[in-house]
């Protein structure tokens, strides 16, 4: 929050690329890019920029609308909402990690999530914090509370927040299967609730626009299209090679009035995050229950299979933030060495401060 405020006040803003723009009011610099879309949907509904606006799922803008009715601006209320959800998310991740891997791993997992380079999105008018709280809360309810009905309700809310929320069926179903004698057949009703969030949104789209799957084709607006992994990898490598030079030009990144340098540099940054993602996915297969590993793997595969031509791994660092099992694996690895944990947190925090400064000044991050 401090880095964001200082950067917004001291650094020159870049020229925003595209619409909508940030809403007016306090803390508006936390409502850039997707945050501006969520703010506009909360204020005026989906109609103004439909059908593209339907790519943004409804629960977060609905909660934003509550604050608007109460007289708070979408930026201020959105930041408050995200920070409150972040506290819940960190609590749930700590409890899950402690249950699976022990207290040292729980501390490391919680810290590595809180100080991840893109954790500033947990402050922003974005769905990351809310989705993390609901998805981790769903698994917490199943693993520690042994309450699959509560887990299913939280999973349904997660599915109304982001499309990948429906994948929570996998860890919940695994947990039911593992303890089916204790939980009984009735507990399966809780697992079956998870897709209800998606179905409710589809019902709204059917009633409002006459097309229940309208959201599914809107990623083409950002240039995304289904592509094979080898082609995505080649595209990512070529784009990263072109943009890597900007990482060594801080004046261009932080002072240029055009967002072009940060857009180009993001391709190199995204490739580095992809390597980290692959390492954590491999570790999760060895360290976590199969249901959580499958959830992380499929959740990561969706953006990788639909690259954008100019930015093949667009938003990958942000999408990683929403997959909490990655941080369970990272915490388990870092907890083995205090020096490694401290080194990771120092490097991750420094990177996060730089990325925060880029984001609040309308320079593309993820």
pLDDT in tens, 205-215: 999 999 999 99
pLDDT value, residue 110: 98
Q: Is 164 helix (H, G, I), strand (E, B) or coil?
A: helix
Per-residue pLDDT at 29 exceeds 80? yes
Residue 71's pLDDT band, with cuts at 50, 70 and 90, is confident
Which has more confidence, 3 or 302? 3
Per-residue pLDDT at 108 exceeds 80? yes
Residue 259's pLDDT band, with cuts at 50, 70 and 90, is confident
Per-residue pLDDT at 39 exceeds 80? yes
Residue 182's pLDDT band, with cuts at 50, 70 and 90, is very high
pLDDT value, residue 345: 98
Q: What is the mean pLDDT of residues 151-173?
A: 98
% of the chain beyond a pLDDT of 90: 87
Q: Cα–Cα distances in Å, from 187 out to 95, 147, 252?
A: 22, 8, 56
Q: What is the mean pLDDT of residues 55-65?
A: 97
pLDDT value, residue 303: 81
Per-residue pLDDT at 323 exceeds 90? yes
Q: What is the mean pLDDT of residues 25-40?
A: 95
pLDDT value, residue 119: 98
Q: Cα–Cα distances in Å, from 193 out to 190, 198, 304?
A: 5, 10, 27
pLDDT value, residue 246: 93
CA separation for the pair 219, 223 (Å, rounded): 7
pTM of the predicted model over 0.95 = yes
Question: Residue 320 in contact with residue 118, Cβ under 8 Å?
Answer: yes
Per-residue pLDDT at 17 exceeds 80? no
How is residue 256 written in tokens? 């240029």
% of the chain beyond a pLDDT of 70: 100
Residue 148's pLDDT band, with cuts at 50, 70 and 90, is very high
Question: Residue 142 in contact with residue 96, Cβ under 8 Å?
Answer: no
Q: What is the mean pLDDT of residues 222-231?
A: 87
pLDDT value, residue 4: 97
**Percent helix, strand and coil across the chain, each rounded to 5?**
75, 0, 25
Residue 221's pLDDT band, with cuts at 50, 70 and 90, is confident
Task: Say how far residue 225 (Cα) sits from the centre of its chain.
Answer: 20
Residue 217's pLDDT band, with cuts at 50, 70 and 90, is confident
CB neighbours of residue 104 within 10 Å: 17
Per-residue pLDDT at 18 exceeds 80? no
Q: What is the mean pLDDT of residues 351-360?
A: 97
Instruction: Please state which of the ranges 293-307, 317-331, 340-354 shows the lowest mean pLDDT.
Output: 293-307
| Closest to 293 measured CA to CA, from 302, 305, 304, 282 | 282
Which has more confidence, 228 or 348? 348
pLDDT value, residue 289: 96
Q: Cα–Cα distances in Å, from 131 out to 28, 128, 163?
A: 21, 5, 10
Which has more confidence, 366 or 301? 301
Mean pLDDT of all residues in the chain? 95
Residue 366's pLDDT band, with cuts at 50, 70 and 90, is confident
Residue 308's pLDDT band, with cuts at 50, 70 and 90, is confident
Per-residue pLDDT at 162 exceeds 80? yes
pLDDT value, residue 340: 97
pLDDT value, residue 231: 92
């Amino acid at each position: 929050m401090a880095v964001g405020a200082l950067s917004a006040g001291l650094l020159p803003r870049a020229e925003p690329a595209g619409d909508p723009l940030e809403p007016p009011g306090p803390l508006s610099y936390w409502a850039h890019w997707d945050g501006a879309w969520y703010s506009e949907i909360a204020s005026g509904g989906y109609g103004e920029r439909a059908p593209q606006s339907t790519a943004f799922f409804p629960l977060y803008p609905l909660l934003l609308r509550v604050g608007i009715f109460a007289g708070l601006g979408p930026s201020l209320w959105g930041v408050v909402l995200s920070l409150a959800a972040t506290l819940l998310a960190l609590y749930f991740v700590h409890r899950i990690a402690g249950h699976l891997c022990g207290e040292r791993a729980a501390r490391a997992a919680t810290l590595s999530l809180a100080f991840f380079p893109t954790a500033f999105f947990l402050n922003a008018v974005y769905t990351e914090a809310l989705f993390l709280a609901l998805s981790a809360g769903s698994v917490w309810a199943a693993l520690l509370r042994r309450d699959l009905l509560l887990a299913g309700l939280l999973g349904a809310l997660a599915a109304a927040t982001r499309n990948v929320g429906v994948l929570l069926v996998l860890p919940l179903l695994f947990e039911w299967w593992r303890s089916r004698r204790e939980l009984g057949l009735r507990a399966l009703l809780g697992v079956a609730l998870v897709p209800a969030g998606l179905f409710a949104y589809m019902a709204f789209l059917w009633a409002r626009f006459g097309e229940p799957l309208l959201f599914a084709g809107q990623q083409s607006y950002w240039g995304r299209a289904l592509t094979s992994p080898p082609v995505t990898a080649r595209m990512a490598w070529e784009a990263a090679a072109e943009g890597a030079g900007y990482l060594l030009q801080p004046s261009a990144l932080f002072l240029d009035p055009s967002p072009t340098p940060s857009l180009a540099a993001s391709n190199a940054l995204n490739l580095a995050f992809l390597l980290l993602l692959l390492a954590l996915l491999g570790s999760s297969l060895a360290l976590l229950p199969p249901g959580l590993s499958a959830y992380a793997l499929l959740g990561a595969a969706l953006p990788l299979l639909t690259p954008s031509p100019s930015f093949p791994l667009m938003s990958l660092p942000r999408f990683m933030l929403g997959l909490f099992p990655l941080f369970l694996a990272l915490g388990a690895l870092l907890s083995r060495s205090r020096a490694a944990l401290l080194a990771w947190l120092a490097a991750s925090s420094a990177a996060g401060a730089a990325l925060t400064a880029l984001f609040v000044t309308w320079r593309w991050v993820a």
